[in-house]
């Protein structure tokens, strides 16, 4: 899938133009523990939430790399806003895997405001699940970490389906719920050290009926790239990114906001060094120690962004060409997603250290970036202990058994 360069550059430019406004609202975003509605409105008006949305339903259907570039630019202004953006904009790609009936309900109602609704996710269960009933399912339970909850109109719940007799592989499904219809409740639980404005609250569902067409089998969204599998989900659209298993790209929805936050921290550090002196009376900007530190931080940041964009390009090529990647290549992507997070945390820690006592005041740009990156890299999608191990086993030709590698839950994957 190719993106017209002019259109891609225009969307990235719109995001870049919004960053200063987001920076002005960053303290308020943290204080209110949600993204200001005017920021969400500006993101919608700029068309940024439609980047991954199918062209058939009013979207741009652009390459995933455009989404990454936009999220990075937004992160320069406010990591919480960029995190909510990237976590909610990627849901357009998931929704494109649902039955066409569902997509028409969400994107083609004829009401522009209704068709621009946003979706959060509750994929981390505290309790509960679903059971089959006539025409659909009954869903009941409690889920955590629905980023952007207060800004969203819909929610995607990932839940286990309890069927008589069960089976060796539990059936997992995505369930699409409507907040305006009272189908779920938001529980205000998000009080975190960083990404404070993401409103990553809990979602509670009470014996809610969900029709069959508002559900998607998780395994169908994560088909292994074997012969005969053309697209994920219900196969409504035929773009390259509708062929990529969801779990292949989920880890790429974490780093962009954090990369942007780290860029913002470097900019703030450079501005501070222009006027500061050390205890010896030397201007910090003239010291070799500062030169080396800035170079080290910039190299780590550049490495993280380069890995991200290179791997996204590889996925586009592999799935778009009809020659699916090997298990080792997919494991490499997951390894790099986790490794990039480590690079970003090391980079922002270095900037915080060099900022000295003046840089630890609450609300300082570097202090905020340190907290935001520190909170973001704890995401399960960048867990080095998991994805480093998956890569090592794949490289050594060992079987992989992990519930989130993008295969059926708990399925053993043959590396070779």
pLDDT digits (tens, 9 = 90+) for 169-197: 789 999 999 999 999 999 999 999 999 99
Question: For the chain, which domains are there?
Answer: 5-115 (1.10.540.10), 119-221 (2.40.110.10), 246-413 (1.20.140.10)
Compare 200 and 401 and report the one with higher pLDDT.
200
Summarize the confidence of residues 267-280 as an average pLDDT. 80
233: left (phi over 0), alpha (psi -120 to 50) or beta: left
Per-residue pLDDT at 282: 77
Q: Which has the minimum average pLDDT: 97-101, 190-194, 342-346, 363-367? A: 363-367
pLDDT at 280 over 90: no
Categorize the per-residue pLDDT at 410 as very low, low, confident or very high, splitting at 50, 70 and 90: very low
pLDDT at 219 over 50: yes
3-class secondary structure for the chain?
Answer: CCCCHHHHHHHHHHHHHHHHHHHHCHHHHHHHCCCCHHHHHHHHHCCHHHCCCCHHHCCCCCCHHHHHHHHHHHHHHCHHHHHHHHHHHCHHHHHCCCCHHHHHHHHCCCCHHHHCCCEEEECEEEEEEEEEECCEEEEEEEEEEECCHHHCCEEEEEEEECCCCCCCCCEEEEEEEECCCCCCEEECCCCCCCCHHHCCEEEEEEEEEEEHHHEEEHHHHCCCCCCCCCCCCCCCCCCHHHCCCHHHHHHHHCHHHHHHHHHHHHHHHHHHHCCCECCCCCEHHHCHHHHHHHHHHHHHHHHHHHHHHHHHHHHHHHHHCCCCCCHHHHHHHHHHHHHHHHHHHHHHHHHHHHHHHHHCCCCCHHHHHHHHHHHHCCCHHHCHHHHHHHHHHHHCCCCEECCCCCCCCCCEECCC
pLDDT at 258 over 80: yes
Categorize the per-residue pLDDT at 340 as very low, low, confident or very high, splitting at 50, 70 and 90: very high
pLDDT at 374 over 70: yes
Distance of CA 23 to the CA centre of its chain: 20
The pTM of this model reads 0.93
Helices 64-77 & 79-89, crossing angle to 10 degrees?
160
Alpha carbons 269 and 89: distance in angstroms, whole number: 30
pLDDT at 298 over 50: yes
pLDDT at 12 over 60: yes
Q: Which has the minimum average pLDDT: 15-29, 104-118, 229-243? A: 229-243
Categorize the per-residue pLDDT at 5 as very low, low, confident or very high, splitting at 50, 70 and 90: low
Tokens of 84: 């909510």
Summarize the confidence of residues 198-206 as an average pLDDT. 98
On average, the pLDDT of the chain sits at 91
Per-residue pLDDT at 257: 98
Summarize the confidence of residues 352-365 as an average pLDDT. 83
Categorize the per-residue pLDDT at 228 as very low, low, confident or very high, splitting at 50, 70 and 90: low
Tokens of 358: 């003046």
Per-residue pLDDT at 405: 41
Report CA Rg, the chain.
22
Categorize the per-residue pLDDT at 404 as very low, low, confident or very high, splitting at 50, 70 and 90: very low
Compare 170 and 250 and report the one with higher pLDDT.
250
Contacts of 368 (CB under 8 A, 6+ apart): 26, 30, 79, 194, 261
pLDDT at 46 over 50: yes
Per-residue pLDDT at 249: 94
pLDDT digits (tens, 9 = 90+) for 312-339: 999 999 998 878 899 999 999 999 999 9
CA distances from 303 to 258, 335, 352, 362 (A): 13, 14, 20, 29
pLDDT digits (tens, 9 = 90+) for 50-108: 999 999 999 999 999 999 999 999 999 999 999 999 999 999 999 999 999 999 999 99
Q: Are 92 and 249 in contact (CB under 8 A)?
A: no
Pairing relation of β-strands 185-187 and 201-211?
antiparallel
pLDDT-above-70 percentage for the chain: 92
Q: 214: which strand partners?
A: none
């Amino acid at each position: 899938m190719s993106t017209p360069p002019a259109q891609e550059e225009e969307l990235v430019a719109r995001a870049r133009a919004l960053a200063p406004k987001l920076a002005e609202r960053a303290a308020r975003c943290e204080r209110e523990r949600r993204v200001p509605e005017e920021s969400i409105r500006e993101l919608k008006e700029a068309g940024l939430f439609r980047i991954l949305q199918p062209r058939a339903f009013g979207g741009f259907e652009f390459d995933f790399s455009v989404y990454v570039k936009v999220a990075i630019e937004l992160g320069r202004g406010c990591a919480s806003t960029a995190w909510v953006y990237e976590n909610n904009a990627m849901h357009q790609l998931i929704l494109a895997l649902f039955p066409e009936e569902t997509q028409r309900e969400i994107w083609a109602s004829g009401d522009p405001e209704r068709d621009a609704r946003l979706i959060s996710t509750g994929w981390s269960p505290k309790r509960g699940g679903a059971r089959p009933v006539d025409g659909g399912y009954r869903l009941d339970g409690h889920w955590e970490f629905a980023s952007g909850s207060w800004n969203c109109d819909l929610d995607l719940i990932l839940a286990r389906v309890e069927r008589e007799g069960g089976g060796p592989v539990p059936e997992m499904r995505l369930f699409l719920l409507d907040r305006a219809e009272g189908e779920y409740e938001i529980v205000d639980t998000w009080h975190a050290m960083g990404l404070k404005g993401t409103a990553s609250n809990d979602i509670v569902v009470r014996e809610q009926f969900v029709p069959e067409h508002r559900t998607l089998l998780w395994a169908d969204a994560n088909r292994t790239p074997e012969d005969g599998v053309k697209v994920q989900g219900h196969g409504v659209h035929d773009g390259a990114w509708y062929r990529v298993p969801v779990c292949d790209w989920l880890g790429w929805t974490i780093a962009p906001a954090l990369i942007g936050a780290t860029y913002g921290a470097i900019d703030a550090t450079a501005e501070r060094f222009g006027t500061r002196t050390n205890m010896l009376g030397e201007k910090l900007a003239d010291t070799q120690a500062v030169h080396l530190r800035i170079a080290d931080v910039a190299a780590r940041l550049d490495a993280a962004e380069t890995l991200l964009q290179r791997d996204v390009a590889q996925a586009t090529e592999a799935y778009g060409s009809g020659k699916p990647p090997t298990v080792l290549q997919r494991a490499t992507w997951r390894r790099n997603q986790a490794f990039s997070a480590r690079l970003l945390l090391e980079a922002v820690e270095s900037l915080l250290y060099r900022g000295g006592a003046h840089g630890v005041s609450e609300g300082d740009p570097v202090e905020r970036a340190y907290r935001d990156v520190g909170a973001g890299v704890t995401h399960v999608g960048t867990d080095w202990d998991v994805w480093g191990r998956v890569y090592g086993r794949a490289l050594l030709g060992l079987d992989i058994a992990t519930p989130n590698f993008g295969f059926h839950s708990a399925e053993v994957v043959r590396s070779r």
